[in-house]
Structures are given as structure tokens and as C-alpha cells.
Amino acid sequence: MRYFRVHVLALLVFLLCTAPMYGDEAIKADDAGFVSIFDGKTLSGWKGDPVYWRVENGCLVGEITPKTLVKRNTFLIWEEAQPADFELKLEYRITKDGNSGINYRSEKMNDHPYALTGYQADIDGKNRYTGQNYEERGRTTLAYSGQKTVIPKLEKAIGAEDKKKLIKKNAWTPTVVVDSLGTKEELTKHIKSQDWNQVHLIVRGNRLQHYVNGVLMSEVTDKDPLHRRLSGFLGVQVHVGPPMKVEYRKLRLKVLKREEQETKVIHLLNGRDLSKFYTFIHNSDERNVAPEKDRDPDGVYTMADGLLRVSGQHMGYLATKQEFQNYRLVAEFKWGTKTWDGKNRGRDAGLFFNATGEDRLFPKSLECQLLEGATGDLCIISGASLTVDGETKNGQRFERPGKGLWKNELGYRGKDEIEKPLGEWNRIVIENRDGKVSLAINNRVMHSGTKANPSSGRILIQSNNAELFYRKLDLYLY
């Protein structure tokens, strides 16, 4: 099967409608809506370190040998989509000393080429962890095998260091156990040692269920909107440890229609046009010429192939027609190659939120700075204010943690750079609720503030001096 890299929704619809079944090893369509995501012959659609991953006898095989001991957990990642609500069925076989897992709703990490952070259905050869819910490089254990748990909402987004304070014995201490699904002894007797076992994940909204051989092993209801994920990559893992081998086969995915949650979702980018926005652009190189509303003769903002392109040719912004209060904004962007200022300065743009008042190039608002080497700075614009760690600013900016020395030069990357390399997608999450604001870039919290003024307003997508693209601008309204 040939996979097409298209918008996630379009891809999943394509898969559901057209995907053929593969070979003798493939499962036939025994359940309506399931499609194969592994062809049984190649790693098409998957990406991982070939030292550890291969296809053999119709299976995805992850193996560590005495000569290839791994220093960090490494994943084989399915890159064709980032499912939100879904069911996943597969079979696995693992050696006695093996340690593996199935990640979902996961993000790629910058510090390792095949690393993921996100929910994981644990698998191990000794069945100490099989079936539990473990958040890889996140909140750690959310439910042990045999537990039904609820993850309560935290009042503010927290970074890695603060998360460590809430983790004890490799488990997330805010977790509340609400019911028992059976003892470990009762559950593990259903798991075959060093033989084929069936896994069925049901992931819908904030409820995450892990079944092994038809038995519910764990269930998590994640009520923490600041730290949970509602979509992301799928992947399978080989874990740090002794030599081991894990095999996966018959991997089938069924995309589910998202249930109404406690939030209403607005997709600001509909993939076709910019009907939810208006433009405000300085269309001239002459400074004394006023910016113009709803006039974009040079096509600074265009939609093509489901992506919003911002050319960067003129300064200005694309603004939502509607104002918003109490929301979570999830955006994904990447830089293009075109720049306009001719002075070798860093690629520069911004994502403004809570913009109020009349239109001008820098209206009263808060801004997530998008700037090579400084992405993640939080700028306080034109009379706005915010308090972070007891410090209130009515202008200037809060610099991102660990930024260090910064140079305004094209392609600049800091020592602890959070932004992904040129041409790769970055994820922004802005939480704005009752005057509290948090900003995260690529799964790292940059700022958490209070007393935001304004606390509501328009969303603005700035054009400054460089080309960039957006593939997602989703608002989750509370």
C-alpha cells in the first residue's frame, strides 16, 4: 500500500475507505472499521533505528543484542497520522527478559531521534507491568495493572522539575484509585509467557482502556487538561535493559468519532479558506502608509493543501473575527525557507492571543514569540500585563527558561534549543483560563502566569520577515 502524507483527518478517512488487507499474516476485517497499519513486509509508514527494528516473518521485530545494548529507550514510530480517538488491536510476543510498550497520543522528543513522550500500554516478559498505563517521560505510572484511576486536574501547568516533586516510586501521586479490576495474580494468569498475546486499546476522549487477551488490565480517566494529550503518534518500544526481543503483528487501527467532551473544539483552520479571519497588513514598503484591513494583494496569507502559508513579505496579521475567553489553543507551525529583510536576521513571527482594542500592528495583547533562538518568549504588548513568579510586567517580555545568550541571526539555535530544526513541525499549547496563562513549546512548559490583562480577545497570526506554515490551530473552549 502506498501511504500519502496529507492532513491527518484526510489520511485517516483515506485509510478507512481504501486500505487493503495484507498477506497471509494479516487479519481480515473481522471488526468493521479496522484497517491494517503494517503491511507485513516493509517498514513503510514507520520510522525507527534500523539497528533495533526490522521486519521478519511478517512481524515488526525489535531486538537488543549483547553488541547493541541501548542507552535510551528507542521507538519505532508510525508517522502517517496522529490519531485522537481510536481502537488499536495487535498481537505481541516477547522474551522473558524483554521490556516494551505501545505508545499513543505521543509527541516526539528533541533530545533523541526516536524518542516519544506520552501514554504507554506497558509490556514485559515477566508480566510485572503488562497492561498498566505509564506516561513515558511524563507523569510516570497513571494506573497499575488491576486499577481503575482518575487523574485530577492541576491548577496550573507545571514543568519537568515540578513534575518530579509529584512523582514517588515511579508513580504520579495525584492519581486517585477509584476501583479494582482484580489482583495482579488474577490478571496475569490470562497472559501467555513467551507466546502470542492480543492487545486491544480503546482510547476515547479522556478515558484510556488497556485490554490483554480480552481482559481489562487498566483504565485511566485523565481529567487534567493542562497535561494530558488528546492526539499524537503511535509507536512501539524497546526499553533499556538486557538483550531481548519483541515481535508485533496484525496491527489494526479503527478511528472513532470523537465524543463531546467538557470542551468545545473550534478548528480555526478548515483546510479550505480563511473565512474565520480577517487580515490587517502593511502592504507598502513606505512607513507612512497605513496598514489596511481585509486587503492582501500580495497573498501574504494563503491556504493550500490544508496548510496556512504566511509569506512574511509584509508586516501585519491574520486575526480571528471572534474574541475568545477561557480556552486551550493548540497550534503547530514550521518555518519555510524564504526570508525578506535581507539583513541575515533570525526568522521572526508571533502568535498573539487575548488581543483587544482597535487594529494596529501591535495591539494590546500577549504574544508567544516565534523567533529563531527565542521561540517561547512571552511578550507583553501595548499596555497588557501578566504576573509570572511574583513579577508583574506591563511591557517587555518574559524570556523562556534556559534561553541564555541570544543572537539575532538567521538560523541561530541556542545551547538548550527547544525549537525543532528548520523544516520540522513545532507544537504550541497556550492555556488561558480565568486570568491564568500557561505557554508550552514542544511539550516543555515555558511560562505560567496569573492576572492576565487582557484575559480574553482575538487570536492573531503575525507576518513579520519570514515564511512559515501552520497545519493546526485548534481552540478547546471551556
Q: Which domains does the chain have, with CATH numbers?
A: 8-255 (2.60.120.560), 264-477 (2.60.120.560)
Model pLDDT, residue 259: 52
DSSP annotation of 160 reads H
List of the chain residues with pLDDT < 50 = 1-30, 260-262
Distance CA 321, CA 279 (A): 10
Contact (Cβ atoms closer than 8 angstroms) between residue 129 and residue 141: no
Model pLDDT, residue 372: 95
Model pLDDT, residue 97: 95
Model pLDDT, residue 263: 56
The answer to whether the predicted template modeling score (pTM) of the entire model surpasses 0.75 is no
Contact (Cβ atoms closer than 8 angstroms) between residue 372 and residue 341: no
Helix extents (H) in 19-108: none
Contact (Cβ atoms closer than 8 angstroms) between residue 16 and residue 255: yes
Contact (Cβ atoms closer than 8 angstroms) between residue 19 and residue 36: yes
Q: What is the β-pairing status of strands 215-222 and 147-151?
A: parallel
- Establish whether the linkage from the previous residue to 297 is cis, with ω within 30° of 0: no
DSSP annotation of 258 reads P
Report which of 452, 357, 62, 94 is spatially closest to residue 237, judged by C-alpha positions.
62
Contact (Cβ atoms closer than 8 angstroms) between residue 4 and residue 14: yes
Report which of 333, 309, 463, 340 is spatially closest to residue 410, judged by C-alpha positions.
340
Report which of 127, 142, 118 is spatially closest to residue 215, judged by C-alpha positions.
127
Model pLDDT, residue 283: 86
Cell, residue 455: 484575559
CB count within 10 Å of CB 209 equals 19
DSSP annotation of 206 reads T
- How open is the CA angle 411-414-418, to the nearest 5 degrees? 95
- How open is the CA angle 63-65-68, to the nearest 5 degrees? 95
Cell, residue 119: 501514554
* C-alpha count within 13 angstroms, C-beta hemisphere, residue 413: 9
